[in-house]
């Protein structure tokens, strides 16, 4: 693969999101002249050959699953490219935001809108189930709300074909805590009714603004297996509760649920769903014999997707979340106005430019006339609701993932239209350097243009459970390389002081 280009035709433009085992790019298909999303599989260091083979198999499985599906509610796969001994998935580029981001930013949804989202997702699931495919990771982060009004189910990375051997081994579960059906937590492969449960949990979060089960991973697993099904307020409450019935045999038929959701979406009353007859010992379920293993689970690896990440759970005796920053804050306040004035060297500060990026909330300040800008982003893996829900362990993994990823590319296509760099240009990366005096751990690097003149300094640091990226850029000829580095460092130091002072 040439720098910045895949298979000689997909020009990688900018990263859209990253997690422990993957990165998603916005790219340009130069042959068909269209923008696409490219999912790059990256593998953590220290994996055994067997684990690496399983991770690649999982990615190929996603491609195979997606290729068989043609539905407006399922993200379309365009191409699969194998380069550098791993697959790259080329998919349609979705513009909008995930349901998870929408819930985070705007809170609970009206019942009619949530009903429409639920019906669209369930119809997409029914199309997959008709092909013998289970999604196995339905959650708010895997439901995408496009700008055109489409509701799209993404990330079939752990989809399972009926009759196909599962990648899950004893002590290793695949899914997202709080959105995994009880029978899957018990080690059973589940079925379409298991996806129904996960969709019910997703709708509960949409209706209330919070997941049905909260707390550490162990607490969420325990609650899923032992607590009564919660009932959301409003007309969808009984429907969602039925979808989340503990026994999969007690959950209603998908067809009937779609009809009920469509009725509420149209402004009508919620119909009563018939209760299926439940056998005493339903097939495919059992007792809670594996709970002792599962309640001690902790999240250890993240697989990035276009808007989501799949979690692999490993057995661990320490299931407690690390202490850290847990109260969300406005990212635009992380660098004070006084500091910004000094960094940008202007008394007339530009307006804040917040953005709810998939990789985490960010804010930028740009001076187009000076070709200068500062940006800061508090990053998250794609499965976590917001950065303040990260644990210290997951933040460390995300930090190391970023460090590994940036070390692999010594050049990239770079642009920042807001400061005047509207055309993509080649940028060379300097070697990564550790910055031991910054936060708990930090590294940085610089970017230089075709003439060799440095224009950007980039710093990524970790403080407790937060991973933060800071960038300073100037297109002016005056600042020296050291001046550019120092301004980025000053911005990073200012944000750390804000965090440690409690915002």
Contact criterion met (CB below 8 Å) for 291 and 351: no
Give the SS3 label for residue 389.
helix
SS (H, E, C) 53-74: HHHHHHHHHHHHHHHCCCCCCE
Gyration radius (Cα) of the chain, Å: 23
DSSP code string of 442-453: EEEEEEE-TTS-
Whole-angstrom distance, CA of residue 8 vs CA of residue 31:
9
Whole-angstrom distance, CA of residue 495 vs CA of residue 376:
9
Measured in degrees and rounded to the nearest 5, phi and psi for residue 351 equal: -70, 150
Whole-angstrom distance, CA of residue 470 vs CA of residue 388:
17
**How far lies 51's CA from each of 169, 192, 441, in Å?**
11, 27, 28
Q: Which two three-digit tokens encode residue 10?
A: 């997909």
Q: Which residues are catalytic?
A: 137
Give the SS3 label for residue 262.
helix
Measured in degrees and rounded to the nearest 5, phi and psi for residue 482 equal: -65, -35
Measured in degrees and rounded to the nearest 5, phi and psi for residue 449 equal: -80, -175
Contact criterion met (CB below 8 Å) for 19 and 395: no
Cα dihedral 66, 242, 222, 210, rounded to 10, equals 80
Q: Which two three-digit tokens encode residue 297?
A: 């689970």
DSSP code string of 106-132: H-SPPHHHHHHHHHHHHHHHHHHHHTT
Shortest CA distance to 113 belongs to which of 175, 203, 187?
203
Q: What does DSSP assign to residue 303? A: E
């Amino acid at each position: 693969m040439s720098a910045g280009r895949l298979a000689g035709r997909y020009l990688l433009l900018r990263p859209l999101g990253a997690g422990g085992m993957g990165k998603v790019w916005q790219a340009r298909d130069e042959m068909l002249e269209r923008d696409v999303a490219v999912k790059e599989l990256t593998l953590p260091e220290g994996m055994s050959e067997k684990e690496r083979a399983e991770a690649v198999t999982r990615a190929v499985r996603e491609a195979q699953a997606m290729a068989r599906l043609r539905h407006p509610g399922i993200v379309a796969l365009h191409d699969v490219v194998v380069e550098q001994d791993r697959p790259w998935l080329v998919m349609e580029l979705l513009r909008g935001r995930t349901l998870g981001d929408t819930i985070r930013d705007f809170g609970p949804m009206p019942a009619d809108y949530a009903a429409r989202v639920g019906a669209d997702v369930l119809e997409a699931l029914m199309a997959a189930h008709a092909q013998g495919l289970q999604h196995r990771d339905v959650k708010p982060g895997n439901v995408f709300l496009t700008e055109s009004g489409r509701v799209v189910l993404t990330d079939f990375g752990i989809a399972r074909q009926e009759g196909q051997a599962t990648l899950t081994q004893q002590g290793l579960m695949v899914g997202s805590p709080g959105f995994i059906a009880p029978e899957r937590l018990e080690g059973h492969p589940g079925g379409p009714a298991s996806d129904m449960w996960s969709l019910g949990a997703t709708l509960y979060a949409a209706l209330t603004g919070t997941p049905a089960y909260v707390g550490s991973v162990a607490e969420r697993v325990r609650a899923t297996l032992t607590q009564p099904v919660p009932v959301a307020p409003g007309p969808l409450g009984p429907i969602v509760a039925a979808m989340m019935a503990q026994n999969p045999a007690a959950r209603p038929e998908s067809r009937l649920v779609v009809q009920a959701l469509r009725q509420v979406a149209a402004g009508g009353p919620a119909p009563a769903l018939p209760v299926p007859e439940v056998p005493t010992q339903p097939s495919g379920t059992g007792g809670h014999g594996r709970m002792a293993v599962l309640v001690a689970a902790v999240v250890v690896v993240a697989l990035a997707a276009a808007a989501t990440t799949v979690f692999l759970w490993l057995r661990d005796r320490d299931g407690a979340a690390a202490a850290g920053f847990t109260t969300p804050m406005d990212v635009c306040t992380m660098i004070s106005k006084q500091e910004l004035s000094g960094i940008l060297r202007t008394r007339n500060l530009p307006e804040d430019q917040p953005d709810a990026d998939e990789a985490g909330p960010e804010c930028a300040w740009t001076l187009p006339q000076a070709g200068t800008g500062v940006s800061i982003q508090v990053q998250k893996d794609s499965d976590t609701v917001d950065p303040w829900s990260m644990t210290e362990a997951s933040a460390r993994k995300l930090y190391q993932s970023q460090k590994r990823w940036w070390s692999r590319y010594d050049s990239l296509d770079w642009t920042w239209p807001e400061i005047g760099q509207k055309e993509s240009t080649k940028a060379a990366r300097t070697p990564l350097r550790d910055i031991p005096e910054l936060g708990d751990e930090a590294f940085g690097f610089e970017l230089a243009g075709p003439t060799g003149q440095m224009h950007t300094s980039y710093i990524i640091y970790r403080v407790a459970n937060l991973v933060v990226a800071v960038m300073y850029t100037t297109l002016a000829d005056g600042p020296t390389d050291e001046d550019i580095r120092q301004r980025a460092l000053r911005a990073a130091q200012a944000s750390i002081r804000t965090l440690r002072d409690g915002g």
